[in-house]
Every structure is written in C-alpha cells, then in structure tokens.
Amino acid sequence: MMKLEYIFSFFKSEKNYNIDQLDPQPTNSIEYGWSWILQSYGEFGLFLIFYLSMAILYALSAIVFYFFDKYKLFPKLKLQITKYPSSKDIKRCINNLVLNYIFVILPLGIVSFPFSKVLGMSYDLPLPSVWKFLFDIFLCLIGEDFFHYWMHRFFHTPWFYKNIHKEHHYYSAPFGFTASYAHPVEVVFLGIATFAPVLIIRPHYLTFYTWFVVRQLDAVLTHSGYDIDIFPFNFMPFYGGTSFHDYHHKEFTCNYGSRFTYLDKLLGTYKEKSK
Ligand SMILES: [Zn+2]
Ligand SMILES: [Zn+2]
C-alpha cells in the first residue's frame, strides 16, 4: 500500500494551481485556459489531455488524406500516382496504430512523466511569447531530425532492418495513417528521438506538449503521399517534406532525415524526389 502511494506521489501536482491565488494572473484566454486545466485536472491531467489531443488530431489529419485517396481528389498532387491504399492496407495499419497508441506510446508517456519533472521545465504563467514558442518548436524540429537521421540509418543495418524497421516499410507508397505504423521497438526509439531535443532545450510545458502534437502532424503530412506546398513548414530552408520521405519509402536507401534534407545532402544519402 505504501509502495503504491509512493508511486502515485510522482503523479501529483507539485503546486497549488488555484486560479484566484496565481501570481501573475492569466492575461489572455490561452493563459486562462491553461490555468483552468491545471486547476481542474492537475499536471498529470494536463498530460492526458495533450495525449488525447495528439491521438485525435493524428486521426483527423490522416482521415483528411484518406478522403483525398478515396475520392481521388487531387491526383496532380499525388506523388505515387497509381498507388492508392486498399481497405485491407488501411485496416492493417489502423490495427497497428491502436495497439501502439495504447500499449507503447501511452505507457511511454506515463513512465516519462515523473522523469520530465527533474528537467525543471515550467508550467507557470506567463506562457512563452509567440516568438519564443515558435523558436523552441523550430529547435525541436532541427534536433529531432538530427537524432532521427542517425537512428534511422542504424535501423537500415541488416539485422535491425529485417527484425524491426521492415514493418514501417511494409507500405512502399505511404498514406497519412502510416506515420506511426511501426514495430513497437521502433516506436520507442522514435519517442526517444522526439524527446531528445527537449532534454537540451527544456522549454515551457506548453511548448513541450505542443511539440509532440506538431511532430505527429508533421509525420502524417510526410507520409500522406501528397506534395502540398502551402503548409508553413515548406517555407523552412532544407525542408524536404512529403516528397523527400515518400521517396525514402519508395527507394529504401536514401533520405534518412525526418523532414530536413541538409544531413542527407552533407553525408551523400540524398536522392531527388520522385516527381
Ligand atoms: Zn516513413
Ligand atoms: Zn526507413
């Protein structure tokens, strides 16, 4: 009993988040909403809300691309023009996703929750400014891409490819849902690469949790099979995006970065998009 109480103590909020007693007080609706969630559900409740938001936004964004495919809405933007997923493909992918989200990603998040406390990141007001928030997200994108590149190359060595990474390459023409379609071991490593820049930057919790949502949405985009250049990411230098990663699924031995092309170009593993 004592042991359980000891474990639960790691998930209790460290502070009193009663809005009336906050100093400084919330000054806008986002700060008020943030404070209200902390007051109502505590730090762990906030984590669960972001986890659910990530899963829901992943599903919604993948469903948008599902309709692109189902009704062949934008054939000119489609990268592998003749490759549309079958209902069997989609079912296999969703089965894997549900298992990964429940048995790998959620437990990983819960286990990481107490550890993130030692990083000294803040829940406090004021929330970061828009520019600080965007800059930290940008640093996370760069950092994750770096760790992902090396991890991904490692997963393409014969044993790891055959036993782990091959699962993610089941689809040579990816579609939105396939972003997190992977062997559970790979999902753990992907999570570590996503967490790694946070260890260095230690941003505000708002930025930290939003970063995981951004990472998932970017992965849905890069696996969507559609080269859409209106998204803000596309204006970043060296952003390879969907055509870059789609080509990795098609050709296997090139384009190991998550989204940026600079490391592949520097290290001779870059190949032009399939268009
Ligand atoms: Zn992929
Ligand atoms: Zn690969």
Q: What is the pLDDT of residues 36-45, one digit of tens each?
A: 999 999 999 9
Q: Which pLDDT value is given to residue 1?
A: 57
Report whether pLDDT(273) > 70.
no
Cα(223) to centroid of ligand 1, in Å? 6
Q: Which pLDDT value is given to residue 12?
A: 83
Q: Which pLDDT value is given to residue 143?
A: 96
Percent pLDDT > 90 in the chain is: 73
Cα(82) to centroid of ligand 2, in Å? 22
Cα(256) to centroid of ligand 2, in Å? 7
Q: What is the pLDDT of residues 47-83, one digit of tens each?
A: 999 999 999 999 999 999 999 999 889 888 888 888 8
Cα(146) to centroid of ligand 2, in Å? 15
Cα(132) to centroid of ligand 1, in Å? 30
Ligand minimally distant from the alpha carbon of residue 225 = 1
Cα(91) to centroid of ligand 2, in Å? 22
Higher pLDDT, 263 or 241: 263
Q: Which pLDDT value is given to residue 54?
A: 96
Report whether pLDDT(232) > 80.
no
Query: Rounded to an integer, what distance in angstroms lies between the CA atom of residue 72 and that of residue 67?
Result: 8
Cα(249) to centroid of ligand 1, in Å? 6
Cα(245) to centroid of ligand 1, in Å? 6
Q: Which pLDDT value is given to residue 104?
A: 95
Q: What is the pLDDT of residues 2-37, one digit of tens each?
A: 677 877 777 888 888 999 988 899 899 999 999 999
Query: Rounded to an integer, what distance in angstroms lies between the CA atom of residue 179 and that of residue 62?
Result: 9
Inter-CA distances, 150 with 47, 193, 198, 257, Å = 29, 10, 17, 8
Cα(77) to centroid of ligand 2, in Å? 23
Q: What residues does each domain of the chain span?
A: 2-266
Q: Which residues contact 30 (CB under 8 A, 6 or more apart)?
A: 127
Cα(168) to centroid of ligand 1, in Å? 6
Lowest mean pLDDT among 118-127, 200-209, 266-275: 266-275
Half-sphere exposure of 98 (CA within 13 A, CB side): 6
* 3-state per-residue secondary structure call for 173-231: CCCHHHHHCCCHHHHHHHHHHHHHHHHHHCCCHHHHHHHHHHHHHHHHHHCCCECCCCC
Q: Which pLDDT value is given to residue 66?
A: 96
Ligand minimally distant from the alpha carbon of residue 242 = 1
Cα(152) to centroid of ligand 2, in Å? 6
Ligand minimally distant from the alpha carbon of residue 174 = 1
**Confidence tier at 156 by pLDDT (50, 70, 90):** very high
